[in-house]
Amino acid sequence: MNRKNLIVGQSGGPTAVINSSLYGVVSEGLLQDSIGHVYGMVNGIEGFLA
Protein backbone atom coordinates (compact mmCIF):
# COMPACT_ATOMS: atom_id res chain seq x y z
CA MET A 1 0.00 0.00 0.00
CA ASN A 2 1.18 3.51 -0.80
CA ARG A 3 1.26 5.26 2.57
CA LYS A 4 0.78 9.02 2.74
CA ASN A 5 2.28 11.55 5.12
CA LEU A 6 0.26 13.71 7.49
CA ILE A 7 1.33 17.22 8.47
CA VAL A 8 -0.39 19.13 11.23
CA GLY A 9 -0.03 22.70 12.42
CA GLN A 10 -1.69 24.83 15.02
CA SER A 11 -2.14 28.51 15.55
CA GLY A 12 -2.23 30.38 18.81
CA GLY A 13 -0.90 29.59 22.22
CA PRO A 14 -1.00 26.20 23.90
CA THR A 15 -4.41 25.70 25.49
CA ALA A 16 -6.17 22.57 26.70
CA VAL A 17 -8.44 22.58 23.64
CA ILE A 18 -5.62 23.05 21.12
CA ASN A 19 -3.48 20.44 22.87
CA SER A 20 -6.36 17.95 22.89
CA SER A 21 -7.06 18.55 19.22
CA LEU A 22 -3.40 18.09 18.34
CA TYR A 23 -3.23 14.91 20.41
CA GLY A 24 -6.29 13.55 18.61
CA VAL A 25 -4.86 14.23 15.15
CA VAL A 26 -1.46 12.72 15.95
CA SER A 27 -2.73 9.66 17.81
CA GLU A 28 -5.33 8.84 15.15
CA GLY A 29 -2.80 9.42 12.37
CA LEU A 30 -0.42 6.93 13.98
CA LEU A 31 -3.17 4.30 14.12
CA GLN A 32 -4.04 4.53 10.43
CA ASP A 33 -2.37 2.06 8.08
CA SER A 34 -2.63 4.61 5.27
CA ILE A 35 -0.44 7.14 7.14
CA GLY A 36 3.31 6.59 6.96
CA HIS A 37 4.60 9.55 8.97
CA VAL A 38 3.08 12.30 11.10
CA TYR A 39 4.88 15.64 10.91
CA GLY A 40 4.35 18.84 12.86
CA MET A 41 4.79 22.27 11.30
CA VAL A 42 7.06 24.73 13.07
CA ASN A 43 6.10 28.42 12.78
CA GLY A 44 2.83 27.64 11.02
CA ILE A 45 2.38 27.97 7.27
CA GLU A 46 5.32 30.38 7.01
CA GLY A 47 7.64 27.73 8.44
CA PHE A 48 6.19 25.11 6.13
CA LEU A 49 6.75 27.24 3.03
CA ALA A 50 10.28 28.33 4.00
**DSSP of 7-40:** EE---SS--HHHHHHHHHHHHHHHH-TTEEEEEE
pLDDT more than 90, % of the chain: 58
Tell me: pLDDT of 13 over 80: no
Give the domain range for residue 20.
4-49
Q: What is the pLDDT of residue 50?
A: 84
pLDDT band for 30, please (50, 70, 90 cuts): very high
Q: How confident is the model at residue 45 (pLDDT cuts 50, 70, 90)?
A: confident
Task: Give the total number of structural domains in the chain.
Answer: 1
